[in-house]
Amino acid sequence: MGEVLGHKFYPGKPCYFIEIGKGCSIYEERPQEPCVSYKCLWVSNEDLPEWMKPNEINTIIDVRFINGIEYLEVTEAGSALSTKVLSWLVQYSIKNNLNLFWEVDGERNWIGSPEFNWAMLLN
């Protein structure tokens, strides 16, 4: 969720300046906040393979917190979350003891620690 040059974006409403298949239409002039300073998990985590690049999988993966509990949030960006991507993320999360949240067709899903599961149930 955010705003770029007076245009709001949020899950289900992509950034006004995104051109499908091309990327950011104002890339060279994009503002510092939120654009330049933003780093998705693919950029900040060496564990994610090259094929998991957001523009390749139409999915954005971010680190978020709920009640002080860290989790990975998966957001569809342009097309439905693929089973290949979700399967990889579930396996990665289990292997690394990470909490994971994703939404498909408006249905919220998550896996993780008992504390995370409880926090998600209450929200």
- Asked if residue 12 has pLDDT above 80, the reply is no
- Separation CA 76–CA 55 (nearest Å): 11
Count of the separate structural domains present in the chain? 2
DSSP single-letter state for residue 58: T
- Separation CA 32–CA 48 (nearest Å): 25
Q: Looking at the structure, do residues 75 and 16 belong to the same domain, yes or no?
A: no
- Separation CA 28–CA 33 (nearest Å): 14
- The dihedral built from the CA positions of residue 17, 24, 80 and 99, taken in this order, carries a sign that is negative
Q: Looking at the structure, do residues 58 and 74 belong to the same domain, yes or no?
A: yes
Q: Give 11's pLDDT tier (boundaries 50, 70, 90).
A: low
The structure tokens listed for 80 are 């439905």
What's the domain range around 81?
40-123
Query: What are the beta bridge partners of residue 23?
Result: 19
Average pLDDT over residues 34-40: 84
Q: Looking at the structure, do residues 121 and 72 belong to the same domain, yes or no?
A: yes
Q: Give 51's pLDDT tier (boundaries 50, 70, 90).
A: very high
The structure tokens listed for 36 are 């330049």
Q: Read off the amino acid at residue 56.
A: E
Q: Looking at the structure, do residues 32 and 58 belong to the same domain, yes or no?
A: no
The mean pLDDT value of the chain amounts to: 90
